[in-house]
Structures are given as C-alpha cells and as structure tokens.
Amino acid sequence: MEGLPLISIIIPVYNVNEYLEKCLCSVCGQTYKNLEIIVVDDGSTDGSGEICDMFAETDSRIKVIHQVNKGQSCARNEGLTIARGEYIGFVDSDDWIDPDMYEFLYHLLVDNDADISVCAHYIETTTRTKVRYSSGTLTSFSSDEAIRALVVDKRVRNYIWDKLFKRQAFSGIRFPENQIFEDMAVCYRVFHKVRRIVMQDCPKYHYLRREGSTVLDKQYDPQKEYLWFLRIYEQVKFVQANGIWHKAPRYVHKYGIHSIDKILMLPSSPQLDSIIKDIIAKMQEFKDVRWPQVDFLFLLKRCLLYQNLNVYRSMKLFFKSGKKIPQA
C-alpha cells in the first residue's frame, strides 16, 4: 500500500480511560497504514491523557494535543486545524473500528469517484451487539440526493464517524462549539460542498452505547428535545433555501408536533411553555404544508395546537390517562 495518500483520523478524548485503549488499538491496527492519528485530550482527569501519551511513545503516527476542557466540538475543530491528510476521518474515543475500516472507505471513495464514503455500523452495549444495515448495498448520491437522504429519508445518518471525507469538504466548516447534536449541524453543510457521496451497507464501525455518554441519557430532557428540533429546523431551512426538495418543510411540522407531544407529558412550567411556543412559531414559518403532504389527523392536531395550546394539552393528558370518552 505504498504511495497511498495520508488519512488524518481525529479522536477527541475526555475521561474514557476504561475504553480508550481498545479504541486506540483499533485505529493503530488499521490495514491502511498511511495514517496521521490526531488525539485531542480535552482536559481529562481520569488518566486518559496519560494513556494517549503512552500510545504516542510507541506509534510515531500519533499526535497528542492536551487542552483545557472545551467540549467535543472544540476538540474536533482543533484536530481539523492541524490535520495534514488528504482525507479526514473521525473516531469517538469510547468506540472502536474494524481493522480494515479505512482501507474499505478509501477504496469505496476512490473506486466510485466520490468525495465522501460512508459505511454501516454496529451498536454495542454491555450485553449485545446490534448490526445497523448489513446488506452490502452500494448507493451513490449527488450532493442534493445525499442531503435529502440525510434530512428527509434518513437513509444516510447524521453521524460524522462512519464516513471518510476529502479534506476540502471541511473548507470553511467547523463544528458548533458548546452545543450538542453537533454532527447534525455539520453533515448537511459538508454534503452541500461536494459533488458525490457513496455509501455501502457494510458495518465497520462499533458505536458503544454507554451510560454517561454525551448522547445517551435515560432521563428525558426537554431542553435536549428542543435542541434536537432546532437541528431539524436548521436542516429543513437549508434544504428549502437551496431548492433541494420542496416538500421538506413538512418535516418541521412532523418533528415539531412530535417534540411538543413529548414535552406536554411533563408538568407545565413557564420554561416549557416558552419552548413549545417557539416550536409552534417555527412551524408557522412553513404555512404551505397541507393535505395530502400530511394526513388528516396530523392537520387536525396542528390546527388545534395553533388555536389553543391549553385545550391541546388537556386532550393529550386525557388520552394519556387512558380514559374513554363516554358514549351518548
């Protein structure tokens, strides 16, 4: 594999000493050897930084950056700033990858004359492994097709770690700092900058679902629900502004009502009412969503929601209680 271009792999690290060694071993053991492995220790306090340094002493491809804790987005952005590779990949430090993942993604990209390649992944828990898509199906997308598959069809996922990018795709794009769901804020913008994206449903990445991770929290958080809706809203606004798909606004309505229904299950408060009113206001920016783009029941719910939030809340709580409407 001599003469192959350099791939920079960016790994943000924060307090993952239990998982870090497995992650770094999987990256260092790649069959694609021409790697620049950028490990950004984001102010770890559990010895993770020392593990990074230990690996750097044994593998000259590893560069370790130690910084005060600024968050995962800042760590990724720091990696992007110093990356020298012609291609860019990302791995989260509590996950691991198959030995041939980057060889697979590189050849998938080059053989299909693409700018971004995508593989499937496994979902790992402490008790089992679940495969997400393993048919081997190969799909090639134009930029607009990939954005629609990402935002609307969900055939392409809003993850940054299951992909290999030509470095030019990140020109002028960085992860939003001090925010969650940062992958959702970046993927569609990167897709818009490139010509072709290729995806093959072969799982190569092992995504670990663990307690305490930034995306997995068993306790429902309405603020996270709201931020997730805002990401959907941003994506749809982008799709509409760039003329990618005229029916995309219905997804703001769909996910807006979905978020409101979940928030209404909590005791009412001024903060929650403010969140709900802002979701409704953003839904109302898209007034041309009507039947048959959405079904009649959806339109009925939306109409009631717009007209009287308190009545809508009362109906949701009534049906949640399991009571039946008395017959005349």
pLDDT, position 246: 72
Q: Residue-wise over 20-46: b if at least 16 C-beta within 10 A, else e?
A: beebbebbbebebebbbbbbbbbbbee
Better pLDDT: 249 or 27: 27
Contact 160, 73 (CB under 8 A): no
Give the domain range for residue 293: 222-320
Per the domain annotation, does 105 fall within a domain?
A: yes
Q: At what angle do helices 250-263 and 270-283 cross, to 10 degrees?
A: 170
Per the domain annotation, does 327 fall within a domain?
A: no
Contact 42, 78 (CB under 8 A): no
Looking at 177, 208, 239, which one is the last position of a domain? Answer: 208
Look over the chain and give the mean of its residue pLDDT values, rounded to a whole number. 88
Same domain, 165 and 269: no
* pLDDT 10s digits, 227-253: 999 999 999 999 988 988 777 777 888
Same domain, 119 and 250: no
Distances in Å between the Cα of 157 and the Cα atoms of 138, 160, 184, 218 are 15, 9, 9, 22
Longest dimension (CA), the chain: 81
Q: Which amino acid is at 112?
A: N
Looking at 208, 236, 262, which one is the last position of a domain? Answer: 208
pLDDT, position 237: 92
Per the domain annotation, does 2 fall within a domain?
A: no
**Reported confidence tier of residue 286, pLDDT bands at 50, 70, 90:** confident
pLDDT, position 128: 86
**Reported confidence tier of residue 283, pLDDT bands at 50, 70, 90:** confident
Centroid of chain to Cα 35: 24
Residue 118 has a CB neighbour count (10 Å cut-off) of 25
Per the domain annotation, does 1 fall within a domain?
A: no
Same domain, 101 and 188: yes
Same domain, 257 and 203: no
Same domain, 186 and 294: no
Same domain, 179 and 245: no
Per the domain annotation, does 293 fall within a domain?
A: yes
Q: How many domains does the chain have?
A: 2
Same domain, 150 and 282: no
pLDDT, position 324: 44
Same domain, 189 and 251: no
**Reported confidence tier of residue 86, pLDDT bands at 50, 70, 90:** very high
* pLDDT 10s digits, 101-114: 999 999 999 999 99
